[in-house]
Amino acid sequence: MSKTTFGTTSTTLLPWLGLALILLIADQFTKVLILGYYRLGDSTYVTSFFNVVRAHNTGAAFSFLASASGWQRWFFTGIGVAATLFILWMLKSHAGQKLFSFALACILGGALGNVIDRLLHGYVVDFLDFHYGGWHFPAFNVADSAITVGAVCLILDELLRVKRS
Active site residues: 126, 144
With residues binned 3-state (H G I as helix, E B as strand, rest as coil), the percentages for the chain, rounded to 5, are 60, 15, 25
Q: Where are the beta strands (DSSP E) in the chain?
A: 43-47, 50-57, 124-132, 135-136
User: In sequence order, what E strands does 48-137 have?
Assistant: 50-57, 124-132, 135-136
Tell me if 164 sits within 8 A of 119, measured CB to CB.
no
Torsion of CA 87, 104, 149, 107, to 10 degrees: 30
